[in-house]
């Protein structure tokens, strides 16, 4: 694969694995917090967790943390840093088509989600076990659409924010509330009503519902899946426009 896109993708994949921000937030943080939170509530099914094993609840929820870290932190910072330092101009001047960089970022983001999810499940398996998948295709669809939505959102933020520092600040501001209320924090039943209402509005909560519910047999979460699909379509269209795809 010696096309300009292929060369760009290869280089970007290597760079991803050398970036401490990526390794910390996409690969280490979700696993570490999953181990801590997952171990905090024991393994006995509890009403607070819809009568499911709390550890399994978090194993199923934390794939979304990987998706959020990729889309809200890794990609915006990476892209904004390239724009700020003139790396994108250099690529453009060297004849890389404008779409090739955006597409490479999309693919890198999806590969990051897949790899970090595999690491998370690989660590969870011997510690808490992997919960049985009740509806495989719905879970797969939820992960796929959620990843496309947040990776596109990351590309979009990276093309809008003026600098790497701004991208880091905005990314962290979006990531932590989403993480605490929409994926890796207390279960929704433990939240006060006002917090729960806010949590329901978060895009990441919709992705979490679309993955966790069919995974643990809590329901099809069709409405969440539709919201995630719309989000994926809107974010990818806007990202493509910004990147002049």
Binding site for other proteins (CB under 8 A): 2-4, 7-8, 10-11, 14-15, 18-19, 82, 85-87, 89-90, 92-95, 97
> What does each C-alpha distance from 31 to 117, 123, 127, 225, 230 come to in angstroms?
9, 7, 11, 25, 29
Q: Which is nearer to other proteins, 28 or 130 (CB)?
A: 28
Q: Which is nearer to other proteins, 100 or 205 (CB)?
A: 100
Asked if residue 131 lies in contact with residue 215, where contact means CB atoms within 8 angstroms, the answer is yes
Q: Nearest Cα to 178, choosing from 65, 70, 75, 21?
A: 65
Minimum separation from the CB atom of position 94 to other proteins (A): 5
Minimum separation from the CB atom of position 65 to other proteins (A): 25
Minimum separation from the CB atom of position 223 to other proteins (A): 41
Q: Which is nearer to other proteins, 53 or 159 (CB)?
A: 159
Q: How far apart are the first and last CA of the chain?
A: 21
Strands (E), 194-245: none
Q: Which is nearer to other proteins, 18 or 44 (CB)?
A: 18
| Cα 192 off chain centre by | 26
Instruction: Give the single-character DSSP code of 134.
Output: S
Q: Which residue has the tokens 């979460």?
A: 221
Q: Which is nearer to other proteins, 95 or 126 (CB)?
A: 95
Minimum separation from the CB atom of position 86 to other proteins (A): 3
Asked if residue 59 lies in contact with residue 205, where contact means CB atoms within 8 angstroms, the answer is no
Minimum separation from the CB atom of position 241 to other proteins (A): 18
């Amino acid at each position: 694969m010696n096309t300009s896109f292929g060369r760009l993708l290869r280089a970007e994949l290597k760079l991803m694995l050398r970036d401490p921000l990526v390794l910390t937030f996409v690969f280490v943080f979700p696993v570490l917090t999953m181990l801590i939170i997952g171990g905090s509530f024991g393994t006995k099914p509890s009403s607070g967790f819809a009568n499911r094993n709390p550890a399994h609840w978090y194993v199923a929820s934390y794939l979304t943390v990987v998706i959020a870290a990729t889309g809200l932190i890794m990609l915006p910072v990476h892209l904004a840093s390239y724009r700020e330092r003139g790396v994108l101009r250099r690529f453009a001047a060297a004849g890389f088509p404008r779409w090739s960089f955006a597409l490479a970022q999309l693919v890198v983001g999806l590969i990051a989600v897949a790899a970090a999810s595999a690491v998370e499940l690989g660590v969870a398996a011997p510690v808490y076990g992997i919960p049985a998948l009740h509806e495989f295709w719905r879970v797969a669809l939820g992960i796929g659409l959620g990843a496309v939505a947040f990776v596109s959102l990351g590309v979009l933020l990276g093309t809008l924010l003026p600098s790497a520092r701004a991208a880091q600040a905005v990314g962290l501001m979006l990531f932590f509330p989403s993480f605490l209320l929409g994926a890796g924090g207390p279960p929704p039943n433990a939240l006060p009503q006002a917090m729960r209402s806010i949590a329901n509005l978060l895009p990441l909560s919709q992705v979490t519902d679309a993955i966790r519910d069919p995974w643990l047999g809590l329901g099809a979460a069709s409405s969440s899946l539709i919201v995630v699909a719309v989000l994926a379509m809107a974010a990818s269209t806007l990202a493509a426009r910004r990147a002049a795809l």
